[in-house]
Structure 1
C-alpha cells in the first residue's frame, strides 16, 4: 500500500509500505494492504510504519527506526485509508 505523511510545513513521507500503525483517539490501530476504507482522528502518540518509503531529507531527524519499523511522534492529526492509499495529516 502507499503511504503519504503530510505536515503543514512539508510532505514528510511518500512510498510503499507493508503496514501502518497510528494512535487513534480510541486506541492504537494498524492498517495492512486491502484494509477497509476509514477516516479517523489521531491523538498524541507514535505513528509506526514498516517499509522503505522516501523520507524528506529535511525531516529525517524526526524519524527513528525501532525493531524494523520507522516511528514518528505526533501531537494530533487525521488519517484516511482508501484504495490501498494511506494519507496521514499530522501536527
Structure 2
C-alpha cells in the first residue's frame, strides 16, 4: 500500500509500505495492505512505518527515528488519517 504523510510545512513521506501503526485518540491501531476504508482522528504519539526500504529528503530526515532497517517512527502532536483504495494519507501536526 502507499503511505503519504503530509504536514503543514511539507510532504514528509511518500512510499510503498508494509504496515503503519498510528496513535488514535482511543489507542494505537495498525493498517495493513487491503485494509477497509477508514477515516480517523489521531492523537499525540508515534507513527510507526514498516517498509522494505526508506528514502527521505534531507529537509525532513531529522524528523524520523530509525528503529531498524525496515522500521522508522515519526512523532506527531495530532492529525487525521484516511485509508482508501490501498492508499493511506496522514495529515499530521
TM-score class normalised by the smaller sequence? over 0.9
How large is the Cα RMSD of the aligned pairs?
A: 1.0
Structure 1: 5+ residue runs without aligned partners? none
Matched residue, 1:79: 81
Matched residue, 1:66: 67
**Structure showing the higher strand proportion among its residues:** 1
Cα distance in 1, alignment partners of residues 13 and 36 from structure 2:
22
| C-alpha deviation, 1:69, in angstroms | 1.1
Structure 2: 5+ residue runs without aligned partners? none
Instruction: Work out whether residues 22 and 29 of structure 1, in 8 Å CA contact, stay in contact via their aligned partners in 2.
Output: yes
Cα distance in 2, alignment partners of residues 24 and 81 from structure 1:
14
Matched length: 91
TM-score (norm 2): 0.93
TM-score (norm 1): 0.95
